[in-house]
Amino acid sequence: MKSFEYARPTTEAEAVAFLGAEGIQTAILAGGTDLTSLLRAELLTPARVVDLKQIPSLRTITPLDDGIQIGALCTLDELAQSPQLGHYRSLFDVIDGIRAIQVQGCGTLGGDLCHLPNCWYFRKGYGILGMEQGVSLPESGDNRYHAILGNSGPAKFVNASRFAPALIAWGAKVRIIGLGAASGAGLSNGPAVVDAEWVPLEYFYSTPQTDRQGHTILRPGQMISHVWLPESPLMSSATYEVLQMEGLDWPLAAAGVCLQLEGGLVRDARIVMGHVAPVPWLIDDAARVLIGQPLNEETAATAAAFAVAQSTPLSMNAYKVQIACTAVKRALLKAAGQLT
Ligand SMILES: Cc1cc2nc3c(=O)[nH]c(=O)nc-3n(C[C@H](O)[C@H](O)[C@H](O)COP(=O)(O)OP(=O)(O)OC[C@H]3O[C@@H](n4cnc5c(N)ncnc54)[C@H](O)[C@@H]3O)c2cc1C
């Protein structure tokens, strides 16, 4: 591991000042469950690591008139134990699926949302696109866990976040703070003290076209401070993840859904697939076919088939198409209370 300067801010303003210092490459430390591996493997070699753990405002869960605001530093345990989050079932499905008490105790919401890809070529030092001398290693090599959608460009990895599908289905926004976050959006309970803006989570991720681009829209000097979830009392939700192992594992495919049923018919639906593309994959077409229909095995299967209809699997991962399809179908049935 290369040596680095260690900063431990106690306010968001201090964190932003440490992150934004000119000419210094920085990295953000939250729970550290992934960052420490990245530093050890020298996949990241920052001159300064900014540890967020002493910033109390990042650890709050605040009910609002129009929803709920969650600090990025909340751990999975803190989320699981929060009575205010009781309505957002799909988040609990995610936490249940992360079967390691160490990660539940240390891993944070912000760390999950910003988790760098697990692509083994990236993790072996070939960059976010997994390129060697201009050749895409995921394209020509072992791509069994790679993308089946959104993979026509050089990025073949899958987005690693487990919360993003559920949160995007809920219509969540993230508060980005730091250099260049323009509008100065304050928190519900305080004035703006740092540059900040709220961005719908569905626009937070990006598909890099070159090795110099990231997998999110965060620029150097920026971080997530909070997540906002809308109050939607009529919506029910679920996440369904397909995991290979009983213990700690990454999903092969997942789906987060939100449903509004009225008189037995679907009035509104949002479906987002995870671990199938470089970004969480929102599928409006699949949701549209459900509107006005009863939610049952047949309609859920039709929507699921729509969800994966545009898949373009790589040489070794066609099996993921059926798995993603099943994840969507089961998430829909689960949200409707038809899957036990
Ligand atoms: C050995 C091991 C195996 C694991 N295996 C799995 C697994 O199989 N499945 C699974 O789901 N999880 C796994 N995890 C947990 C995984 O690391 C989680 O995703 C965890 O939620 C990350 O949270 P963290 O707070 O520890 O993130 P950190 O490691 O602190 O950060 C992760 C990334 O996000 C960035 N970051 C963190 N917070 C912010 C923020 N607020 N704003 C901007 N960027 C930020 C960091 O700079 C870093 O790049 C594993 C962890 C370990 C140690």
CA distance 182 to 192: 11
Q: Which two tokens stand for residue 220?
A: 């150097």
From the CA of 57, how far away is ligand 1's center (Å)?
20
- The closest-lying atom of ligand 1 relative to the alpha carbon of residue 109 is 21
Give the residue, out of 12, 19, 34, 76, with the most ligand 1 atoms within 8 A of its beta carbon, to mutate for a pocket test: 34
What is residue 194's predicted lDDT score, i.e. its pLDDT?
A: 74
State if residue 126 touches ligand 1 by the CB under 6 angstroms criterion.
Answer: no
What is residue 191's predicted lDDT score, i.e. its pLDDT?
A: 47
Please state, in angstroms and as integers, the Cα–Cα distance from residue 271 to each residue in 80, 257, 289, 325, following that order: 23, 5, 11, 12
From the CA of 241, how far away is ligand 1's center (Å)?
18
- The closest-lying atom of ligand 1 relative to the alpha carbon of residue 98 is 11
State if residue 174 touches ligand 1 by the CB under 6 angstroms criterion.
Answer: no
Angle in degrees, 0-180, between the axes of helices 297-308 and 319-335, rounded to the nearest 10 = 140
The domain locations on the chain are: 57-230, 236-335
What is residue 190's predicted lDDT score, i.e. its pLDDT?
A: 52
CA distance 147 to 118: 12
Give average pLDDT by consecutive 10-residue segment, the chain, 340 residues. Answer: 96 94 92 96 97 97 95 96 94 90 91 98 97 95 98 98 98 92 58 78 97 94 96 94 89 97 95 98 92 97 96 98 98 93
- The closest-lying atom of ligand 1 relative to the alpha carbon of residue 76 is 21
What is residue 183's predicted lDDT score, i.e. its pLDDT?
A: 60
- The closest-lying atom of ligand 1 relative to the alpha carbon of residue 29 is 30
Same fold, 57-230 and 236-335: no
**Which 3 state secondary structure label does DSSP give 253?**
strand
From the CA of 33, how far away is ligand 1's center (Å)?
5
CA distance 89 to 259: 12
CA dihedral 245, 250, 32, 129 (to 10 degrees): 140
State if residue 243 touches ligand 1 by the CB under 6 angstroms criterion.
Answer: no
Q: Which two tokens stand for residue 211?
A: 């090795």
Nearest C-alpha neighbor of 176 from the set 7, 336, 10, 19: 19
Residue 9 and residue 50 in contact, taking contact as beta carbons nearer than 8 Å = yes
- The closest-lying atom of ligand 1 relative to the alpha carbon of residue 249 is 8
- The closest-lying atom of ligand 1 relative to the alpha carbon of residue 97 is 11
What is residue 63's predicted lDDT score, i.e. its pLDDT?
A: 94
Reported CATH class of domain 236-335: alpha beta
State if residue 78 touches ligand 1 by the CB under 6 angstroms criterion.
Answer: no
User: Span 57-230: which CATH code?
Assistant: 3.30.465.10
- 10 Å CB burial of residue 306 (0-12, 13-18, 19+) is buried
For atom 31 of ligand 1, which residue has the closest CA? Answer: 111
Prediction pTM value: 0.95
Nearest C-alpha neighbor of 91 from the set 254, 238, 227: 238
CA 50 and chain centroid, separation: 21
Tell me how long the chain is.
340
- The closest-lying atom of ligand 1 relative to the alpha carbon of residue 218 is 43
Residue 248 and residue 205 in contact, taking contact as beta carbons nearer than 8 Å = no
State if residue 248 touches ligand 1 by the CB under 6 angstroms criterion.
Answer: yes
From the CA of 106, how far away is ligand 1's center (Å)?
9
Q: What is the pLDDT of residues 72-105, one digit of tens each?
A: 999 999 999 999 999 999 999 999 888 888 888 8
State if residue 259 touches ligand 1 by the CB under 6 angstroms criterion.
Answer: no
